[in-house]
Amino acid sequence: MKRGVSKRIGSIKFACLSPEEIRKMSAGKIITADTYDDDGFPIEMGLMDPHLGVIEPGLRCKTCGHKVDECPGHFGSIDLAMPVIHVGYVKEIKKLLQATCKSCGRLMLNEEEVKSFRAKMDQYEELGHDTTDFKDLAKDTAKGAQKQICPHCGTEQKKITLDKPTTFREDGHKLTPKEVRERLERIPDEDLDPLGIDPHSCRPEWMVLTALPVPPVTVRPSITLESSDRSEDDLTHKLVDVLRINQRLRENRDAGAPQLIVEDLWELLQYHVTTYFDNQTSGIPPARHRSGRPLKTLVQRLKGKEGRFRSNLSGKRVNFSARTVISPDPGLSINEVGVPEEAARELTVPVNVTAANIEALKVLVKRGPAPAGELYLPGVNYVIRPDGRRIRVTDKNAETVAETLEINFVVERHLQDGDVVLFNRQPSLHRMSMMAHTVRVMPGRTFRLNLCVCPPYNADFDGDEMNLHVLQSEEARAEAMILMKVQEHILSPRFGGPVIGAIHDHITGTFLLTYRNTKFDKGQALSIISKMPQIQLPTPDIVEKGKEYWSGKCLFSTILPKDMRLTFKASICEKCNVCKKDKCDKDAYVKIRNGQLLSGTIDEKAIGSFKGKILDKVSRDYGSDKSREFLDNVTRMAIGAIMVRGFSTGIDDEDIPEEAKRQIEDMLKTAIDKVESLVEAYRNGELEQMPGRSLRETLEVEVMGVLGKARDDAGKIAGKHLGIENAAVAMARSGARGSMLNLSQMAGCIGQQAVRGERLSRGYWNRTLPHFQKGDLGAKAKGFVTNSYKSGLTPTEFFFHSMGGREGLVDTAVRTSRSGYMQRRLINALEDLKMKQDGTVRNTADSIIQFHYGEDGVDPTRSVNGEAIDIDDILAEVLGEDEAELLAKIEEKKVGGYATVEKDLMETGEEDMEEVGEETDFESGGEE
Amino acid sequence: MVETPQINVLEHNLVPEHRLLSKEEAEQVLAKLRITKDQLPKIRKGDACIRVLEKIYGNIEEGSIIQITRKSKTAEVAVAYRLVRG
B63 vs A127, A852, A858: nearest CB: A127
Give chain B positions within 8 Å (CB) of A125. 38
> How far does the CA of residue B14 sit from the closest CA of chain A (Å)?
17
Residue A904 has pLDDT above 70, yes or no: no
- DSSP 8-state symbol, A206: G
DSSP state of A867: B
Whole-angstrom Cα distance, residue A751 to residue A747?
12
Residue A462 has pLDDT above 50, yes or no: yes
3-state secondary structure of A747: helix
CATH for B9-85 (3.30.365.10, 3.40.366.10, 3.90.940.20, 3.40.50.150): 3.90.940.20
Q: Which of A479-488, A916-925, B31-40 has the highest mean pLDDT?
A: A479-488
CB-based contact B74 A848, cutoff 8 Å: no
Using a CB-CB cut-off of 8 Å, the residues of chain A touching B39 are 128, 842, 845-848
Q: What is the nearest CA distance from A897 to chain B, expressed in angstroms?
A: 7
Q: Nearest C-alpha of chain B: how many angstroms from A852?
A: 8
The residue type of A749 is C
Q: Are A485 and A610 in contact (CB under 8 A)?
A: no
- What is residue A199's predicted lDDT score, i.e. its pLDDT? 87
Mean pLDDT computed over A617-628: 89
CB contact under 8 A, B62 and A849: no
DSSP string, A320-363: SEEEEEEEE-TTS-TTEEEEEHHHHHH-EEEEE--TTTHHHHHH
- Which residues in chain B have their CB less than 8 angstroms from residue A854's CB? 74-75
Residue spans of alpha helices (H) in A577-657: 604-607, 613-621, 623-645
What is the tens place of the pLDDT at every residue in A311-350?
Answer: 888 888 899 999 999 999 988 999 999 999 999 999 999 9
Q: Give the minimum alpha-carbon distance from B55 to chain A in angstroms, rounded to a whole number.
A: 24
Q: CA–CA separation, A690 vs A702, rounded Å?
A: 10
- Per the CB < 8 A criterion, the answer to whether A631 and A597 are in contact is no
Residues of chain B with C-beta less than 8 angstroms from the C-beta of A866: 74
The yes-or-no verdict on residue A920 having pLDDT over 70 is no
pLDDT at A903 over 50: no
Question: How confident is the model over A473-530, as pLDDT tens digits?
Answer: 999 999 999 999 999 999 888 888 889 988 888 999 999 888 888 888 888 888 888 8
**What residue spans define the domains of chain B?**
9-85
Question: How many CB atoms neighbour CB A507 within 10 A?
Answer: 30
Among B41, B62, B78, select the one facing A848 at the smallest CB separation. B41
A849 touches chain B (CB under 8 A): yes
Q: Which residue has the higher pLDDT, A126 or A608?
A: A608
User: pLDDT digit string (tens) for A140-178?
Assistant: 887 777 777 787 787 778 888 888 788 888 887 888 888
Name the amino acid, one letter, at A821: Y
**Does A924 have pLDDT greater than 60?**
no
Q: What mean pLDDT is predicted for residues A445-458? A: 93
Helix, coil or strand: residue A209 = strand
Task: Provide the pLDDT for residue B67.
Answer: 92
CA distance B44 to chain A (A): 12
Say if residue A299's pLDDT is above 70.
yes
Q: What DSSP line would sit under A422-459, residue for residue? A: EEE-SS--SGGGEEEEEEEEESSSSEEE-GGGHHHHT-
A706-715 per-position pLDDT tens digit: 888 888 888 8
Indicate the helix (H) or strand (E) that contains A224: strand A223-224
Query: Which residues, 6 or more positions from A421, have their beta carbon under 8 angstroms from its beta carbon?
Result: A337, A339, A347, A415, A436, A437, A438, A439, A468, A469, A470, A471
**pLDDT above 90 as % of chain A:** 21
Mean pLDDT (whole number) for A272-293: 87
Q: Are the C-beta atoms of A768 and A800 separated by less than 8 Å?
A: yes
Give tens-digit pLDDT for B40-65.
999 988 888 888 888 888 888 888 89
- Between chains, do A855 and B36 touch, taking CB under 8 Å as contact? no
pTM metric for this prediction: 0.79
| pLDDT digit string, tens, across residues A669-687 | 999 888 888 888 888 888 8
- Which residue, A54, A59, A49, is CA-closest to A236? A49
Name the residue facing A127 among B62, B78, B81 (closest C-beta): B62
Q: Mean pLDDT throughout A31-54?
A: 82
Q: Which amino acid is at A296?
A: K
Supply the pLDDT for residue A895.
Answer: 47
pLDDT of res. A442:
94
Higher pLDDT, B19 or A165: B19
Within 13 A of A46's CA, how many CA atoms are on the CB side? 13
User: Is the pLDDT assigned to residue A457 strictly greater than 90?
Assistant: yes
| CA A682/CA A688 separation, integer angstroms | 9
- pLDDT for residue A910: 41
Chain B residues lying within 8 Å of A845, measured CB to CB: 39
User: Does any CB of chain B come closer than 8 Å to the CB of residue A123?
Assistant: yes
Name the residue among A501, A500, A605, A614 with its Cα closest to residue A557: A614
Residue A456 near residue A435, CB atoms below 8 Å: yes
Instruction: Please give the DSSP secondary-structure letter assigned to residue A62.
Output: T
Chain A residues lying within 8 Å of B78, measured CB to CB: 851-852, 855-856
Contact A127 B35 (CB under 8 A): no
Query: What pLDDT score does A463 carry?
Result: 93
Tell whether the model's pLDDT for residue A406 goes beyond 70: yes
pLDDT above 80 for A832: yes
Q: Do residues A357 and A351 lie in contact, with contact meaning Cβ atoms separated by under 8 Å?
A: yes
Q: What type of residue is A652?
A: D
Task: Report the amino acid identity of residue A813.
Answer: A
Residue A351 has a pLDDT of 93
For an interface test with A, which of B36, B73, B83, B84 has the most A Cβ atoms less than 10 Å from its Cβ? B73
What pLDDT, on a 0 to 100 scale, did the predictor assign at position A480?
94
DSSP A24-52: HH-SSB---S--B-TTSPBPTTSTT-GGG
Instruction: Give per-residue pLDDT as tens, A870-879.
Output: 777 777 777 6
For A123, the enclosing helix (H) or strand (E) is helix A111-127
What distance in Å separates residue B65's CA from the closest CA in chain A? 11
- CB distance B40–A838 less than 8 Å? no
Q: A761-809 pLDDT, tens per residue?
A: 888 888 888 998 888 888 888 888 988 898 899 999 999 999 989 998 9
The predicted structure's pLDDT at residue A893: 52
- Comparing alpha-carbon positions, the chain B residue that sits nearest to A850 is B80
B38 chain-A contacts, CB cut-off 8 A: 125-129, 847
Is B69 in the A-facing interface, judged by CB distances under 8 Å? Answer: no
Q: Are A746 and A651 in contact (CB under 8 A)?
A: yes
- Confirm or reject contact between B32 and chain A (CB < 8 A): no
pLDDT band at A67 (very low <50, low <70, confident <90, very high): confident
CB–CB contact B40 A856 (8 Å): no
Contact yes or no for A848 and B36 at CB 8 A: no
Q: Are A789 and A783 in contact (CB under 8 A)?
A: no
Of A127, A840, A849, the CB nearest to B83: A127
Phi and psi at A106, nearest 5°, equal: -80, 155
Q: According to the model, what pLDDT value does residue A2 have?
A: 55
CA distance A849 to chain B (A): 7
How confident is the model at residue A162, as a pLDDT? 84
